[in-house]
Structure 1
Amino acid sequence: MRPAQLLTDAGRGVLIGTAEIIPGVSGGTVALIVGVYETALESAGHLVRGVVRGVLDPLRGRGTAAARSHLAQVRWTVMVPLLVGMIAAVLVASALLAPVIEDHPVQARAVFAGLILASLIVPARMVGGRWRPHEVVAALGAAAAAVALTSLPTAGDAEPSLILVALAAAFAICALVLPGVSGSFLLLTVGMYAPTLDAVNERNLAYLGAFALGAVIGLSLFISGLQWLLRHRRRMTLAIMTGLMAGSLRALWPWQTDSGALQPPSGDLSTVLLLFLGGIAVVTALIAVDAAVQRRRVAPSRD
């Protein structure tokens, strides 16, 4: 492969990795914008199935032919530079964001809330057409459940157990499958966003190992299921996702205690409002770019 193409794919990985670190900005959406979403999703599916079959099939006496077949279908020339770019971006972005979140929690939550609020339009619009009554009811139920879950008191500064880390990673990694949903946001709502950034910056191998294991398990269990739901129950799946994202905004109210209890607004309200609007503007711009890219792809087929 030409060096220019390798650098291009690595650059795409940098953009996706940076998006995954920022709550509310979906790495899946960015992958769509830069044109590698379908390739990455298909390759990830083959990679996961290849690894699983490579472990299980020999134990069942079936050999490794199926595993090798799946691994051969992975677009390695795209995936390797993409992953290198993503990992580099995660390391750099984590180092930059962690101190900001620790020193300016109110302002950080304001930006994140704006990012998430604007992101709601992505899964809501992907439902397609006018929402049906049962889809509205499902979304409202999902929103209510998310509000209830994010209203539970957090554990404060206690370090999460490695089992909890793996479980959170298993669910957060699934956000990569669905454009419009942010994995970092899912970590944020369960109080594990800051600990994960700290683990990356401090090279906490035990934490990162548990996170990686959970991510692999999550992909193994959920990637095929989510792909099936998007193919066969697309509207309802996206409606529920929209509701979950909307209800989880409760966790991003800027003013709250360390345990997650909401407080009335205080301090420099104008700055908080500007940051909130700035978050909305960032995602709105990304959505506009995505729409322009999609129009350009559709236009040639109509000629």
Structure 2
Amino acid sequence: MEHIKNFIYGALIGIANAIPGVSGGTMAVILNIYDKILYAVSLKNLKKHLMFLIPLALGAIAGIFALSNVIVSLMESHAMLLNFCFIGLVLGSIPSIYKKARDQKLKTRNLILGIIAFAFMIFISYLNQDQIANKSLADFGGISLWLCLWLFAAVAISTIAMILPGISGSLMMLLMGVYAVVMEAVANIDLLLMIPIGLGVATGLVVGIKVIKKMLRFHPQALYFIILGLVAGSIFAIYPGFAVSGEGFLSLGGMVIFAFLAHLLSSRK
């Protein structure tokens, strides 16, 4: 039963990562397994936590390849309902994150870091994505050494962003103009492009997890206030607007229900 639950959690994280503007890290925080994942993904702890990580990873892969198309389709037909449900998830997780941040005596500099993270997410949310260069492989002029190096760097940065709750790795790739190329490479199983993409993912995971784990160990309050700012600020990125209609009121109801569910999940010990 525990393996099935972890598979479902992984699928939810995978779906979140596949949608620009939505963060898999946020989903991990909502499910109250963010810290557990960070501690499990290390050479020292990997073997001991394989039974947790394997179903989680399989679920994430299933979520990305099997379920994300359904979610993307819903984004096109019922964007307001889906986004309000996700806003509910975020709102429901905030009290638990704040509680973790206040486990120690409040330091003003840590609160300021949280405010900066919140402001950063507002800035990201108001960027005009229609004006962001997001070229296809043909637009880049085909495969070149420069493209491979840029893919490696952009994917590494996006992977680090993906680890942080609140920031979407897909959105970061979109901002750096490689989202279309990466999606093409995955869809067409382009092995030549998959090499720099794979190396970028691996580098981002190693660097990102190492930095975050050190912060969790030595500066936990600073990390949790940053996470709180990123997660709360992500609401601005996913807010779809509101229309006074049947779907509008249904969306509000969905937000309340999902906020309640997220609060139950994130407050679990």
TM-score normalized by the length of structure 2: 0.69
Question: Percent identity over the alignment?
Answer: 17
Q: Which runs of 5+ in 2 are unaligned?
A: 17-21, 137-150
Quick one: structure 1 residues 147 and 80, their matched pair in 2 at CA, closer, same or farther if it must change by over 3 Å? closer
CA distance in 2, matches of 1:284, 1:210: 41
Q: Please give the root-mean-square deviation of Cα atoms over the aligned residues, in Å.
A: 3.8
For residue 26 of structure 1, give the secondary structure of its aligned residue in structure 2: helix
Larger radius of gyration: 1
Alignment of 1:219-298 (within 5 A): 219-255=205-241, 265=242, 267-269=243-245, 271-291=247-267, 293-294=268-269
For residue 240 of structure 2, give the secondary structure of its aligned residue in structure 1: coil
Deviation, structure 1 residue 18:
1.8
2:97 alignment counterpart: 123
1:26 alignment counterpart: 27
Amino acid at match of 1:150: S
Amino acid at match of 2:264: A
1:138 alignment counterpart: 113
Quick one: structure 1 residues 166 and 150, their matched pair in 2 at CA, closer, same or farther if it must change by over 3 Å? same
Q: Which runs of 5+ in 1 are unaligned?
A: 1-6, 47-69, 176-180, 256-264, 295-303
CA contact (8 A) 1:140 1:243 kept: yes
CA contact (8 A) 1:117 1:280 kept: no
Q: Does 2:42 correspond to 1:45? A: yes
For residue 102 of structure 1, give the secondary structure of its aligned residue in structure 2: helix
Deviation, structure 1 residue 37:
6.0
Deviations 1:168-219 (A, max 9, x none): 53224423xxxxx256x45357757xx68x939x724357666543331111
Quick one: structure 1 residues 230 and 103, their matched pair in 2 at CA, closer, same or farther if it must change by over 3 Å? same
Deviation, structure 1 residue 115:
2.7
CA distance in 1, matches of 2:238, 2:5: 30
CA distance in 2, matches of 1:164, 1:270: 45
Deviation, structure 1 residue 127:
0.5
CA distance in 2, matches of 1:158, 1:71: 41
1:199 maps to which of 183, 189, 198: 183
Deviations 1:105-149 (A, max 9, x none): 344333333332333333222112464443333322322232223
For residue 102 of structure 2, give the secondary structure of its aligned residue in structure 1: coil
1:259 alignment counterpart: none
Q: How many equivalent pairs are there?
A: 241
Quick one: structure 1 residues 228 and 121, their matched pair in 2 at CA, closer, same or farther if it must change by over 3 Å? same
CA contact (8 A) 2:10 2:58 kept: no
Deviation, structure 1 residue 228:
0.9
Q: Does 2:170 correspond to 1:187? A: yes
1:92 alignment counterpart: 66
2:204 alignment counterpart: 218
Amino acid at match of 1:101: M
